[in-house]
Amino acid sequence: MTMTGQRTHTIDRGVAEGRELRRLLETGPFADALRAAIRARGLGLDRIRYRLRGRGCSVSLATLSHWQSGRCRPERPESLLVLKNLEDILGVPPESLSRLLGPPRGRAARCTVPGEGLVMKRGRDTGT
């Protein structure tokens, strides 16, 4: 394949990814839109975390990973501030990711420390 053919293929893929990102920013779900925005920006989670830290936002790599996998989502005020800065770093329109969150889902949907939320019932962990 010629260099021109390879370049055309790369451009076509970039255009398709841009369309997909725009669609996901409009329709969600949040995790898919975040993942697409990260991919489109071409930054790794460690680099994103570094840039957030430069803006005074502290977030763990695990939390960023959980957000983009859909395991949990930002809900606390501190997390929503991180998300606002993340939208800017990723170059997506303001509130385009935030509005995909919808109403809070409750404690079970938040990122928690392993073991947090376990309840002891009659001497054993129930995991509820």
Element (H, E) at 83: helix 77-90
How many separate domains does the chain show?
Answer: 1
Whether 109 is in a domain gets the answer no
> Residue 12's pLDDT is what?
56
Place of tokens 């993942």: 35
HEC string for 51-76: HHHHCCCCCCHHHHHHHHHCCCCCCC
> Residue 127's pLDDT is what?
42
> Residue 14's pLDDT is what?
63
Whether 106 is in a domain gets the answer no
> Residue 126's pLDDT is what?
40
List of the chain residues with pLDDT < 50: 1, 9, 108, 113-128
Predicted structure pTM score: 0.73
Rounded Cα gap, residues 72 and 105, in angstroms: 10
Whether 115 is in a domain gets the answer no
Whether 33 is in a domain gets the answer yes
Rounded Cα gap, residues 12 and 10, in angstroms: 5
Residues forming a β-bridge with 121:
124
Whether 110 is in a domain gets the answer no
Whether 54 is in a domain gets the answer yes
76 is in which domain, residue-wise? Answer: 3-92
> Residue 104's pLDDT is what?
79
> Residue 110's pLDDT is what?
53
